[in-house]
């Protein structure tokens, strides 16, 4: 029997004031052309990192949440080897760690013993590799790779891992995150600032430093989806996947990249969140804003109206979602409403748990 497909769509509308949360190579806020006009843009990589940092903050008592993206994998393994066997010297531990990475066919810089590219590892993988090394005098390439193909952290299970040296170690991402864009046209603005020397003499004039910072303000449409089947596959069982999904939904909704945050104090929370559970295909509703919102009285409510119209219009092309839950303080025509984010997560979880079982998704 075929396993049922399950996809969770997360749609967020969030008003962000003057800010520069994601810069390009010139220091300007990133932008995109869409619908013939310039939009504010925040890259998917930037928002995924913000989510990963929340996972890291929450991982003190749950190391499975956050992996480690680093070039210093051999050093981490050497440290773990010494932690598990205090009789090992630093040189012996590093020699064994290098041997493990060589067996996995992951290329190292011979001078630094670092990987030549960033590599995502989980705490569980590092611990299991150390256990394997200490229990086996001869290393087997297949066994080493098996360790690296299990014990995935939540961020690795969601966002994937690419290993150019050996694609068999790749992890297919269970989550897709779109670049956030403004629902309306934006006009970039510039903040001219000066800094005065506190110790200058009374008869001195002028500033010690002058400069400009480019910024914009926007109502952003943010979107991500999760393939529940793939998340179960990556994490190994339904219960863990459901916990991971709950954390991701909440952290994606409440996270924000930290670029120039000290300069603008732009940390807002969303004003509208719509989560849908589908069996046929994920649906990004950004086409609601292909025609940019125009308003003299704020963009949020018109954006909600256009988004919900697009949600209804898509039913001509895809199946009706199993569930659609919204949390907002704006006017909404979605029938199922949650009182807050925790209630939204609870309602979505209930739908997921009634549609799956260990028997049909753990295969």
Asked if pLDDT for residue 359 goes beyond 70, the answer is no
The pLDDT of 208-227, averaged and rounded, is 93
101 falls in which pLDDT band (50, 70, 90)?
very high
Which strand (E) or helix (H) includes residue 249?
helix 238-254
The pLDDT of 171-182, averaged and rounded, is 98
Is 103 strand, coil or helix?
helix
206 falls in which pLDDT band (50, 70, 90)?
confident
Does the CA dihedral 345-346-347-350 come out positive or negative?
A: positive
Residue extents of the structural domains in the chain: 7-59+174-198+214-361, 68-152
Q: Pick from 309, 358, 295, 39: which is nearest to 179 by CA?
A: 39
Q: Pick from 125, 144, 142, 124: which is nearest to 133 by CA?
A: 144
Asked if pLDDT for residue 76 goes beyond 70, the answer is yes
Per-residue model confidence as pLDDT tens digits over 102-117: 999 999 999 999 999 9
Q: Dump the DSSP string for 323-349.
A: EEEEEESS----SEE-SSHHHHHHHHH
Per-residue model confidence as pLDDT tens digits over 267-288: 999 999 999 999 999 999 999 9
286 compared with 207, residue with greater pLDDT = 286
358 falls in which pLDDT band (50, 70, 90)?
very low
pLDDT of amino acid 357: 62
pLDDT of amino acid 59: 83
Per-residue model confidence as pLDDT tens digits over 121-141: 999 999 999 999 999 989 999
Q: How far apart are CA 125 and CA 143, in angstroms?
A: 12
For the chain, the average pLDDT equals 93
Q: Pick from 1, 50, 9: which is nearest to 228 by CA?
A: 9
The pLDDT of 226-235, averaged and rounded, is 96
Per-residue model confidence as pLDDT tens digits over 49-64: 999 999 999 987 788 9
40 falls in which pLDDT band (50, 70, 90)?
very high
Is 56 strand, coil or helix?
helix
């Amino acid at each position: 029997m075929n396993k049922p497909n399950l996809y969770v769509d997360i749609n967020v509308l969030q008003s962000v004031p003057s800010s520069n949360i994601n810069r390009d190579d010139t220091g300007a806020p990133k932008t995109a052309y869409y619908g013939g006009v310039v939009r504010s843009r925040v890259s998917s990589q930037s928002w995924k990192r913000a989510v990963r940092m929340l996972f890291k903050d929450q991982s003190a008592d749950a190391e499975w949440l956050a992996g480690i993206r680093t070039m210093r994998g051999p050093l981490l393994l050497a440290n773990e080897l010494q932690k598990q066997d205090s009789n090992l010297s630093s040189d012996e531990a590093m020699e064994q760690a290098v041997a493990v990475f060589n067996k996995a066919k992951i290329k190292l810089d011979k001078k630094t013993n670092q990987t030549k590219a960033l590599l995502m590892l989980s705490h569980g993988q590092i611990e299991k590799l150390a256990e394997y090394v200490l229990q086996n005098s001869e290393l087997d390439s297949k066994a080493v790779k098996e360790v690296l193909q299990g014990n995935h952290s939540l961020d690795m299970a969601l966002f994937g891992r690419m290993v150019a040296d050996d694609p068999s170690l790749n992890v297919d991402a269970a989550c897709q995150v779109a670049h956030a864009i403004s629902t309306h046209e934006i006009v970039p603005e510039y903040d001219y600032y000066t800094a005065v020397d506190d110790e200058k003499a009374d008869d001195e004039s002028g500033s010690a430093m002058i400069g400009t910072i480019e910024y914009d303000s926007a109502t952003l449409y943010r979107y991500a989806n999760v393939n529940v089947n793939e998340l179960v596959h990556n994490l190994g069982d339904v219960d863990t996947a459901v916990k991971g999904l709950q954390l991701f939904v909440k952290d994606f909704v409440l996270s924000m990249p930290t670029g120039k945050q000290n300069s603008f104090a732009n940390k807002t929370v969303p004003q509208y969140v719509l989560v849908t559970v589908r069996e046929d295909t994920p649906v990004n509703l950004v086409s609601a804003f292909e025609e940019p919102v125009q308003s003299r009285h704020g963009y949020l409510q018109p954006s909600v109206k256009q988004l919900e119209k697009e949600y209804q219009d898509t039913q001509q092309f895809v199946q009706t979602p199993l569930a659609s839950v919204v949390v907002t303080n704006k006017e909404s025509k979605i029938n199922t409403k949650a009182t807050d984010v925790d209630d939204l997560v609870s309602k979505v979880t209930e739908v997921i748990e009634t549609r799956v079982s260990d028997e049909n998704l753990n295969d």
